[in-house]
Structure 1
Amino acid sequence: MPSPAETLEAIGTGDDEATTCRELTAFALRTCDAAAVDLTAEGRTERVAAAGSAGLLRAPAPSPAGLPAVRAVDGGHPLHSWTLRPGSPPVYGLSVALARHGTSYGTLIAVRTSAPFTDHEAAALHFAARVAAVHVRHARRLAATERVALHLQRALVADPGRPHPNLLTAGRYLPVGPSALVGGDWYETVRLHFGRTLLVVGDVMGHGLDAAVDMNAYRSTLREVASTELAPHRVLRQLDALVAGDAARRPATCLLARVDPARGTALFASAGHLPPAVFAADGTGRLLDVPVGPPLGTGLGGYESAAHPFTDEETLVLYTDGLVERRGEDIDESLARLTALRLPPRASAAEAVDALVAGLDARHAEDDVAVVTARVRSRTAHP
C-alpha cells in the first residue's frame, strides 16, 4: 500500500484542478484496474480525468444512496463499495467523495476485477481523495482570485487616447504567461495643440495587480502633465517629481515622442527606456539616438529632449523591453534583432505591429510586451 508520504508527493504538483485529478486517477491505479474523477461545479458534474481500462469505467455504478457505507478510519466522509455482475468476471467498485471541511468537490471512482477492496485499500484511497480535495479547493480559490484581479486590472486600464487624424497609430499589449493578468506595461497617445500628438510607452517594475495600479497612476498623472503642452523632457521632469513624493510608488521607465506631422519631426525624451526605432519605406529599421535619463520615481531628474526627422514614408516604433529582451542575451543583440527585421514595404501602422509581434515571437516573450507604431497620414497611407 502507498504510504501517506507517497500520496502527498504524487498528488497536487500543479495549481489547476485538472492536473490534480489526473494525478489522483494515476495514483489510484496502484490498487485498481481503472479510476475516474467526476468534479461538481456550479451545479454540474463532469468527468475530468480517467485512467486504466475504459471498459470497466463504462460499467454502470449504483447510486451512492443505495450502497453500503464503509467507514473511513478517521471517521470522515463515507466510502461506498459495490459488486457488479453484468457478466463474468465480477467488477468490484469503490466510490470516494473528494471532500474537505464539509464541502464535496466531486467523486473518485475506482474499479477492479481481482477482489473487493480491503479496508486498508479503501482508507488509502480515501486519504488520496482528501489530499486531492485540498488541492482542488486551492485551485478554485486561486482561479477565483485571478478572475477578480483580472476584472480589477481591466477596470484600471483605460484605452489609449486618440491621436490627431494626421497620425495613424496601432498598439498591442501582451501580458506574460497563461493567466493574461495585466501588468505594468502600457502605451498612450495624447492630443496636443497644432496637430501634434504625444506618443508614450512605459513599463512599471513588476507584474500583477500592484503593478497595474501603479501603471494607472502613471498614466493618469502623465495625461494631466502632458496637457500643459510642455516639451517631453519637462513632462518627464514633472512626472518624476510628482511620483518621487510617493514612497509606495514603484519606479518605471518611460519614453515620450511628440510627433509634429506638419513639420515632419518627432521630439523624444527617455526615462531609463530602450530607444525608439524607425523603419523606412523599404522595411529596413534603425534605432534613434535619444538621451536616457533615470527611471521615473527616483526624483533625480536630468532629462533631455532630442529631435529627429519623421516623414510619411517612415514607421515609428515604441516598445517595452519584453518585445526584444531574452534571457541570457546581451541587450545589444536583442536590439540588433529588432532592427534586423524587415517590415512589409510601406506597411500600415497595424501591419507593422503584426510584423513585429510575429517576427520577434512576442507571444512567447518572457516579460509583458507593449508596442505602439505610428505613421504620418498621407494620401496613400492606410489606417
Structure 2
Amino acid sequence: MSFLDRERRECLVFQAFSYLSHLYCPTCSQEYSAKEPAHLCQCGSPLLAAYDMDALKVQFRKETVMARPPSLWRYHELLPVKKENDIVSLGEGMTPLVEMIKTGKNYGVDHLFMKDESLLPSGSSKARGAAAGISKAKEWKITDIAMPANGNAGAAWSLYGSRASITSHIVMPVEAPIISRKECAAAGADLHLVNGLIHDAGTIISHAVQKYGWFDASPFKEPYRIEGKKTMGLELAEQLQWKLPDVIACPVGEGAEFIGIYKAMQELMELGWVDSEKIPRLVAVQAESCAPIVEAYEKHQTTADNHPESYTAAFDINVPASIGDFLVLNAIYETKGCAVAVCEHDLLAEQRWITRKEGTFISPEGAAAFAGVRRLREEAWLHPEDTVVCVNTGMGIKSPEAFDVSVPILAADDEL
C-alpha cells in the first residue's frame, strides 16, 4: 500500500479535522505527500491540494457547516490544516455579499452583487491565503518565511506571521502602496524595497531562500495560499443558498483568488452541494497597462507572455508574469468565461461612482472588476437577467495614492 493510499484510508477510518489527502501536479499528474513541506513539482509546475472526496461525501454535510460560527475555518474539512491547535486566525471569513442596486441599474444588470473582502483582517482578500499558509507553516514549525509582494499580500502574511511568531522576509517594489509597506514594518517584518517590479522582488527572494534556508512562500511556490483563497468561493455559494451565480468577475494579478474560486466550485460540485450543470462563467479583469492574461485569452493561448514594464493604480494586479497563468486561463476556458482589460481612467472613474452611489470605498482592483462588468454589459456579453458577482479585494483607503482630492482650505474666520 502506497503512502497516498494509507493517507486516504486514514481519512475514511475516522472523522478528521482536515481531509487533505495529497498534493498533485496539474501539468504532469505527479502526486506528492502532504505530510511535509512542498513547493513546485519536479516539472516546475505549481502543486494543488487534493482532498479525500469519497470520505467527505459520506461524512461532510452542508447543514453541519451552516450551523458553525461565521469563520473561514467553518470549512476546515476542506482546508489543509490537520489540527485545530495549529490554526492562526485573526477572525477572517464570511465577508458580506452586498447587492449593488444602483450600480446594477446603471449597468443594466438586474442582480449585481459585491463580495466585499475589504472587511478581512489587514483590509484585503490576502488575509485568506495568509491564514491558511501561515497556519501550515506553524504546523511544520517553520520559523522564517520569505516572499515577494506588491503590497497587500506582504502586509497580510507579515501580520499573520507575527501572530504565529514567524519572521516574515518581504521584498516589495518601491512603487508599492505606502500603507501596505507600513503594515509590514509595524508587524516587525524584515522589509526591503526593490527598484523594479514584483518579478524583480521574486528573483531577490529566490536567492535569499537558497542562501538562508527560509521557507519560500512566494505565490504558487507555497501550495496552500490557494486553499485559503478558495473559501471566498465556498462562502459565496453558501450566501446564495447553494445556488451559484451566472458570472463572477475578479481582478487578476498572480491569480490565486481566481484559481481558488474555480477550485471551490469544482469541489462543491463533486460533493453534490451545488448544481453541477451550472458553473459560473469566470471573468478575469486586468488593467490595460498590465494585461498578460487578457492578451493570452485573446490569442487563445494556454499560457501568457511576460508583459513589459508597467504601472497601474490597481497595484496589486500589476503582475507582468505568473507561473499560475495556465491555471487562470484554463479556468476561463472551462467555464466559458472571458478576460477583459480596462483602462486607468475607467477603473478610477468606477471607484468614484461606486463610492459615491453605494457608500463603499472599494479598492482600485475591485473597481477594475466593476469596470470590466460595465464593459461586458455594454458589449452584450452579459445579459440583463444574469446574476453577477464582482469581487472587491480590498479597502480603498489602502491605496490613497490612487484617489486625487482637491479640497479648499479655509481661514479660521471664513464662512462656507
TM-score, structure 2 length as denominator? 0.26
- Larger gyration radius, structure 1 or structure 2: 1
The structure with higher relative contact order (CA 8 Å, sep 6+) is: 2
The structure with more strand, counted as a fraction of residues: 1
